[in-house]
Structure 1
């Protein structure tokens, strides 16, 4: 090996090459089938690393408590707090029957430390936004009331 090139491997016999192809094709086939049918069984899984595609457009939900004096209080908690773990339930509020909606709102008010007697209504708003590619700032493009609940 005077020229520094890696040593050439001897050609494998045809039987070993055939076996290697079968194993490779089988492994790739199992992975493709798992991805197509969304199998989540170790060690083959279709688990997604990201929950959704990241684009310049976005939607967020905001839960507001409107006081008797008209003042609005954002009920979204700081990240990591207990209330933050229940924001996925915001979508249920839109279709919930009145009793269940009041129950959800009551729990969110309690966790946020807001007395239900001081609140005239709780409003769930959907805000659409677009992020500027250069400045990375979000610019609101629309706002709509999704649900209104009176505690």
Structure 2
């Protein structure tokens, strides 16, 4: 046998080729139909696998620093800042023990360029809102204080 001799692979019988084409074409048609009709029946979805569900109602969390002089500073970061990578930790603040809550708050204040000595308290607030279907404007429907931490 020659070292680089290629083996001849016999062609599949016509019935198997036809069945393979039928399965392939059916899968492509089903996927395209799901995308065009915006169907969300698993496993055929309208490409929303890695996105949250978007409805007219929503909730947002805001972290406020209240200065010793009574001023309130929004600690939410601008898009792309390092502080923006930690907003998922806001939910931990609600159930954190006091020492851990102070660590989180001190870190957020440091990232925001604020000294803990200049802050009387940090407040985590939950705001609910509803979006108007016609104007696409958000209207706040409620506020609730989730956690208050003294740095």
**2:111 is the counterpart of 1:106:** no
Q: Secondary structure at the match of 1:100?
A: helix
Runs of 4+ in 1 over 4 A off after TM superposition: none
State the shift of 1:20 in Å. Answer: 4.4
- Shift in alpha-carbon separation, 1:64–1:15, aligned structure 2, 3 A: closer
Where does residue 49 of structure 2 map in the other structure? 48
Q: Secondary structure at the match of 2:104?
A: helix
State the shift of 1:63 in Å. Answer: 0.1
**2:17 is the counterpart of 1:16:** yes
Q: Secondary structure at the match of 1:127?
A: strand
State the shift of 1:67 in Å. Answer: 1.2
CA distance in 2, matches of 1:148, 1:104: 12
Unaligned ranges ≥5, structure 1: 1-11, 29-34, 37-46
CA distance in 2, matches of 1:82, 1:15: 56
Q: Secondary structure at the match of 1:134?
A: coil
Where does residue 120 of structure 2 map in the other structure? 120
Where does residue 79 of structure 2 map in the other structure? 79
Which digits, 9 at most, give the CA deviation of each residue in 1:31-61, with x for residues without a partner? xxxx67xxxxxxxxxx9231x1111111100
**Residue correspondence of structure 1 range 47-66 to structure 2 within 5 A:** 48-50=49-51, 52-66=52-66
CA distance in 2, matches of 1:109, 1:150: 12
Task: Please report the TM-score for the alignment, with normalisation by the length of structure 1.
Answer: 0.72
CA RMSD of aligned residues (A): 2.6
State the shift of 1:114 in Å. Answer: 1.2
The number of residue pairs the alignment matches comes to 123
Q: Secondary structure at the match of 1:79?
A: coil
Where does residue 145 of structure 2 map in the other structure? 145
